[in-house]
A and B are shown apart, each in its own frame.
Chain A
Amino acid sequence: MSARNPGMELDLEWVSRVRVNTQAVLKRAQQIQGRKLVKKQWEAAWLLRAVTCIDLTTLAGDDTPSNVHRLCLKATQPVRCDLLKAMDMQDKGITTAAVCVYPSRVADAVKSLKAANSSLPVASVATGFPAGQTPLKTRLEEVRLAVQDGAGEIDIVINRTLALTAQWEELYQELQHTVYRASLVAMMAGSDFIKTSTGKETINATYPVAIVMARAIRDYFLRTGHKVGFKPAGGIRTAKDSLVWLTLMKEELGEEWMGPHLFRLGPAPCWRTSRQVYHHVTGRYAAYQELPLA
């Protein structure tokens, strides 16, 4: 993680001056999606970079120590060793960025990772994830407990009721303004990362929303000099998606925002990425059983 974002006084004037032209943002998103994707060894390298940015996540009601353990082991070795060797990448520390679990599973995850001799951080969702509809007191308590158990990173959900009614009465559909403003406020409050969504809802990380958030990050950086990270979550289904996300970061914020310290991919299907890597190395498409199990 890069230097922490200390936050700043809430500057409502800045927040209210924000202008977003939806049409232009959509066009920009199309343009980024329409870019020709990288091929050959560039594709392989980009995919591996995408893997190192993944927050390997399990957020299910039936999580138990055993599946969390399996997840942790996969996080330490997301791509088959022989494939990495073929690309001469076996000793370059290709692991996912973090393991992300519910607060009650944090202790299990920390234990499993310690056993595997890994220093991967454990992230925990908190504060009434995913809806954010719990009282402040319980939310704070939740964070405290998770940190106590060894969580290095906490995903916080903002209270959208506030965001939507209190200050910015724009329609919910008019996402763009709200997104930019909410992002700015979150950064002023000292967030190190801002995240598109919880990954648990029907509308997830879309590129236009991401562009707006990336611009908020850039704005905040230009104003304060602090670099805030970005995490798209949900809706990332294919290996191609993760490449488009990396392209978006490169185009909007630059290469610095393409590493795990400033960029995370939320719940993403690691195995699809592995399959593409497998194809790059062998020239064949892998059967599901040839890839590491989650």
Chain B
Amino acid sequence: MAGSTNKTVHDIFQSMEYGPASSSTATAQSWLESHSRSLGLFLDGTFVCPSDRQTSTVNDASGQRLWTAVCAAEEDVSLAASSSVGGFKVWNELSCHQRARVFHRFVSSLQRHGQCLTELCELAQAPSSVSALVRLAQYYSGWAQLKDALVPDWTPRCGGCGCVYGVVAVAVSDDCSLYALLLKVLPALAVGNAVIVAAGSGTALPALLTASILREAGLPVGVLNVLTGKDLSLGVRVARDPNVSCVTYTGNKQDGEILSRETAGLGVPLSLSLSTSAICPFIIFDSADIDSAVDGVIEAAFRKKKDWQWILCVQESVWDGVVARLKVRMAGMKCLPLLAESDRPIVDAAVQEAQQQGATVIQPCPPPSSLSLYPPTVLWGVAPSCPCVVSPPAGPLLPTLSFRTATEGITIANHSPHGQAASIWTEDLTLSLECAKSLSVGTVWVNSHSVFDPSLCLSGTKESGNCANGGPAGLFQFLRPALSPSLSRSSPVPVNYAKFGTDGTQPTLPGAPEPADLAHDPRSYLHFVGGRPCKADSGRSVAVLAPGGGVIAYCPDGGRKDVRNAVEAAAKSQPGWKKRSAVSRAQSLYSLAESLELKRRDLALSLQAQTGILLEAAEMEVDLSISRLCDWAAHCDKEGGGVQSLPQSGSALSFPEPMGVMGVVLPDRSPLLSLVSLLGAALAAGNAVVMIPSEKYPLPALEFIQVLQSSAIPEGVVSIITGGRDQLTRALANHSVIQAIWYWGSKEGCQYLQYTCCSPLKSLWLHPEEVGDERGKDGGQDWACFHPSLMEEMWRQATHWKSVWIPTA
């Protein structure tokens, strides 16, 4: 830069170059100076600088010392946690209106200190727009006001037993922006939780300032504490504190996996948004406004700090037009800074490899000798399997693929483990809506990209996350139905993850236990895989014991291969089931209820034989099950999403979509009613389910197979596999097609699932059974009670939200 200031007017007159970009950071610098560039932690409503802590110095882009971060030690974490407990008590006592007023004041403070915050984000190299933050705060101030009115039967994430408080830990990775952080913090605060932020280096500075702005706006002491540290281990330490009741994470995939493994078995729900490492398709159809699309892709792919990696997919018929425009538009572009000099060899290698595989490289200038800069680069015509498409390095690279038809384009775009977002460009309304439906991503932007609004859900599918942020759906991460029992904290037990579920059940050997009733031979049941009753792949079966101890039946001893076959059939039939109209799904569920009605007596008898309850009680459970199925049938066409009103002009749709193929490990308690309740929720939302009946009480589920067969549920949508619970849980956890697992069972099982299901990512709904509770209180759930909030929770667990942006002029 020093040389460029000597340029004369005449030089510039000739070259017509842009001047050096100068943005003042005076306000932020003086704020930092006022804290001697060493802010410490934000604890109990004030900045605290504990002595004799490890520190780490953070530099700005030019290598100058920006500030010194304190690395929170163990005692700081427990201090923060106890401060949060105090904060929660005060905050939760306030009325909705009082909380909303704090949010209101926060909005105006945010506007007042906007300049300082912008500059600070700029300095921390994680730019965030203040207007977006203001809009976020405004949106959630509305929810703070209306929480009791609109979600009355839900409470903050605290335990019912009085020992656990609504303390949410928000952990972020280093490369996360302030917006992404506040997208977690503000909804958690709005519904009445206290929050501990474990900030990464990129967000620490703006997070500290935000915390002090919130304090200035009147947020009670302790409601928001901010801890800083060197790496993610801080997040893990915060999650381990016994006062924390819910952990949520946003950032890159590697850190998310670590957090997930490290917190397995703690008994805290963990939700992950792995958006920063997502790879998103940018699809240009031949019916697009090509010039605008090219502008869009240049803006999206070649910015200093990208939200995501983009892959450009161009329809063959406009292939030449797009490349010609890209060349013209890129001609004058300057090199962009890489995040780290160490990225350069990786970028070089990726470009070279793409070239060897036949890609054309389009660059405005050759890569400079300086290692920290790289020119915007289009890798034109790469194969979908090329490493630069599968795992593009961090840098201004844009791999480009071609496709022939719209269907092929969607197939290519969906052929990825990521499911964050996609941008599609076409002037054809039908095509764009069809595309938006069939892309397996959380957000679809039509003729636009990277626009956000807090009223719309920003959630990833597949590897990109297992929770919803923003929108009404984003609140439920931090709420639980008042009637449902909370998870209680526990400490991890030693689980051998490599061995879990590999032991297999004891096969029934000839001459083993006595039948319960000598007059009747125990019946041998078949389980239900892909729409057909069949034996276990292993050929073995296990004895089902009556409450008294005798054998009443034999059921197949299912295993890995049975699960594989069931998932295969489910994956085949699920798209058709999802595509059916809600009305038609409702009809199928009603038919299932009717079939159950016809088999009422058989089911009641099997319930009685299995659990030893009175026949009247068994009949009552069957009747309740029939009514439950009708509840879900009726629910099918009631929640279809809707059109959101936005500050920008145009429309945005937000609608629920099924998870896909789900695995359900059923509880022991109310074996028929629980099965029907969960099955109904999953099917009503459009999922296919692989169900594992209770190992102890499988009979009613096996009897239910006949009901399924005589109903109008399509083949393959439901499978029921019996056998060892741990064994089958392991099989479900290790099948990548399964997107969600609902689990009732042992603590070890929960821990195993949390540990295993972070890669590939699944969404988990875990219910560890209370040890020593003989009444079989599976996580305390009373299945006969079906409060609307419980119904809603089940339904929310069976769906994820998709947002479609259709901006217009």
A interface residues, Cβ below 8 angstroms from B: 19-28, 31, 36, 38-46, 48-49, 87-89, 92, 215, 218-219, 222, 246, 250, 253-255, 258
Contact = CB atoms under 8 A, between A and B. Distances in A.
Given A21-B447, A23-B448, A46 B12 contact: yes
Contacts of A31: 299
Contacts of B331: 254
Interface string B400-436: 0000000000000000000000000101000000000
B332 A255 contact: yes
Given A23-B447, A48-B13, A88 B809 contact: no
Contacts of A222: 321, 324-325, 328
A25 B289 CA distance: 10
Contacts of A45: 9-13, 16
A88 B19 contact: no
A94 B447 CA distance: 43
Nearest to A174: B809
A23 B650 contact: yes
Given A31-B299, A48-B9, A89-B13, A19 B287 contact: yes
B90 interface: no
Contact of B16 (A25, A89, A255): A255
12 contacts: A21-B425, A23-B809, A36-B21, A41-B12, A42-B7, A46-B16, A87-B8, A89-B9, A215-B291, A219-B291, A222-B321, A258-B16
A48 B16 CA distance: 11
A217 B10 CA distance: 29
Given A19-B287, A45-B11, A254-B328, 19 more contacts: A19-B289, A19-B427, A21-B292, A22-B809, A23-B448, A24-B292, A24-B296, A24-B447, A27-B807, A41-B8, A42-B18, A45-B13, A48-B9, A49-B13, A87-B10, A89-B9, A92-B10, A215-B291, A219-B291
Which 6 A-B pairs rank lowest in CB-CB distance, beginning with the nearest? A42-B19, A24-B292, A45-B12, A22-B809, A21-B289, A45-B13
Contacts of B473: none
Nearest to B19: A42
B12 A25 contact: no
B295 interface: yes
B289 A20 contact: yes
Interface in B488-536: none
Contact of B10 (A40, A89, A253): A89
Contacts of A39: 19, 22
Nearest to B328: A218
Interface string B15-29: 111110111000000
Contacts of A36: 21, 23
A254 B9 contact: no
B19 A38 contact: yes
A255 to B, nearest CB: 5
Nearest to A176: B809
B290 interface: yes
B329 to A, nearest CB: 8
Contacts of A21: 288-289, 292, 425, 427, 447
B385 interface: no
A40 B7 CA distance: 11
B366 to A, nearest CB: 19
A158 B324 CA distance: 30
B332 A250 contact: yes
A26 B293 CA distance: 13
Contact of B295 (A24, A246, A253): A24
Contact of B18 (A38, A48, A215): A38
A28 B809 CA distance: 12
B302 to A, nearest CB: 13
Contacts of B21: 36
A22 B650 CA distance: 12
Contacts of A26: 809
Interface string B608-638: 0000000000000000000000000000000
A44 B9 contact: yes
B51 interface: no
B808 interface: yes
